[in-house]
Structures are given as structure tokens and as C-alpha cells.
Amino acid sequence: MKDTTLIDQIGQAHFFLKTPQRIISLVPSQTELLHDLGLEAQLVGITKFCVHPYHLKSVKTKVGGTKKIHFEKIKLLQPDIIICNKEENTKEMVAQLSEICPVWVTDIVTIEDNFQMITDFGQLFNRRVEARKWNDKLAFGLKNFKENVKDLSTKKVAYFIWKNPYMVAGSSTYINELLLLNKFENVFGEAIRYPEITIDQLKEANPEAVFLSSEPYPFKKEDGYELQEDNFKAPIVLVDGEMFSWYGTRLLKAFEYFKMLRSQIQ
């Protein structure tokens, strides 16, 4: 890269004299993507939630979470670029971090957005070949998965992300995009983003299954029993939140997980 201007997914223009070498990632799924693009050596800072690949948390500096960061610790790492996400990180955080170095912000709602992010990282970090290989693998996996589910019937589901209060995934979310890919009709798909709901609203929506995600709230079997005590009758399924909400290269693993999940819900 030489004297290059690139545009991130929220429309910010960034000018680079050379390829950024010292990277801080404040999004777990994007940390995994950067590793898979061959950029582990360039990663100098990650969040405490960056658990894939597992060894990173013992060899990289942890600079906080996705919402709360150690600003001075980040500054001392002298990054060339900080990778954020519109949903995971706050606007205030991005503004503060921009005082240190360029902050690249992704915005992933659709699978096409995911492909674009990988292409962008290929350009940004001079990993075009690696990015193209991953996009090719994801495109092949996507095509196969669509073929696998095309004859399955559509099932109405609710996808819970939080408790006290109950919150679910609605429209304009990556989770909703992946539910639709699986031929799951989101009964709260008319609501925007992550609405709060009541048990009465859940009963009225009448899903054929309820998904309790492992993140951001770590739902357990006991939480499902609580719903059943409220006289809610539909099957309750604990699902791997990483497969539904982690974008990047994680999507390739998600296809196999979805096949298993979809075979359980016919």
C-alpha cells in the first residue's frame, strides 16, 4: 500500500502512507478474522472477549472489553490502526480513540457486508490473496448450505439475547439475516434491532421454537425451565451465539452448525 485512501463501512475515509503494522482489535469476531488472514504478528492489542483462537489471550495485551477500554494502555501500544464495529463499540469510544490513530469501523448486517469486510481487510492490510481465498470458501459454503435447506419448511422462531429484561433479535441485525438463511421466520422480525419483550408478547407471537443464545447473556437450561413455568409451550433450544452473531471467517464453521441445528427442528 502506498498513499492510499480507503473508505470503511460507515463511510469514513482513511488515508494511509503505508500498510498499518500495529493493529488493535476491539471486536472478538474481527480478531479471529485478522488471525485467519495471517495477521497474528501484527495484532498488538485485543479485548478480554477475544477467545478465538484460544492462545491469543495469553500472548496479546488485553485492553478492556468492547464497551469499556483502557485508553492509556491502548495509547502506550502505539497502534497504527484500531478496528471497531458500529454495533459492538460506542460512538464515543471511536471518537476518543481517533485521537490516537485511525479507527476503522465495520458495519455488518448482511452476509454481503461480511464479504465486503473481508475484502476491505485484504486491501487495508495487504492480504488480498488471503481475503479472496476466504471469500471463495465462504461463497462455496453458502451455496452448499442454501442447497441443503431449500426444501425444508419455514419455522417460526424467537431468538433471545438477554434476560432481565428479556430482549430478542429483531430486524436490521446479522442474527436476523442468519435466521432467514436457515429458513427460520423471526416472529419479532418487524421490530427494529433488539427490542425488549414480555412473556405475554412471546405467547402472542406464538413461535414454533424459542432460541436462547449463549451470548451476550449466557442462557442456561434453567432459563428455559423458567419460561416453561410461565406456561410457554413451544420447544426451547439453547443455541451457540457465536455461530449466529460472529461474522468474519466464523461463518464457515456456522454452516456446519446450522445443518445440525436445522436437522433438529423440522
Residue-range domains of the chain with CATH: 4-141 (3.40.50.1980), 152-264 (3.40.50.1980)
pLDDT for res 177: 98
pLDDT classification of 4: cutoffs 50, 70, 90: confident
Closest CA to 35 of 56, 21, 9: 56
The single-letter DSSP state of residue 196 is B
Yes or no: say if 111 and 254 are a contact pair by the CB < 8 Å rule. Answer: no
What proportion of the chain, given as a percentage, has pLDDT over 70?
A: 99
Residue 2: the pLDDT is: 59
pLDDT band at 166 (very low <50, low <70, confident <90, very high): very high
In this predicted structure, what is the pLDDT of residue 95? 97
Mean pLDDT of the chain: 96
**Omega before 53 cis (within 30°)?**
yes
C-alpha cell of 166? 428479556
Which amino acid belongs to residue 244? F
pLDDT of 93 higher than 90: yes
User: Is residue 75 classed as helix, strand or coil in its secondary structure?
Assistant: helix
CA end-to-end span of the chain, whole Å? Answer: 50
169 neighbors 151 (Cβ within 8 angstroms): no
Q: What are phi and psi of 39, to 5 degrees?
A: -110, 20
Q: Percent of the chain beyond pLDDT 90?
A: 93
184-234 pLDDT, tens digit each: 999 999 999 999 999 999 999 999 999 999 999 999 999 999 998 887 788
- Mean pLDDT computed over 40-52: 97
Grid cell at residue 18: 503505508
Residue 266 pLDDT > 80: no
pLDDT > 90? residue 153: yes
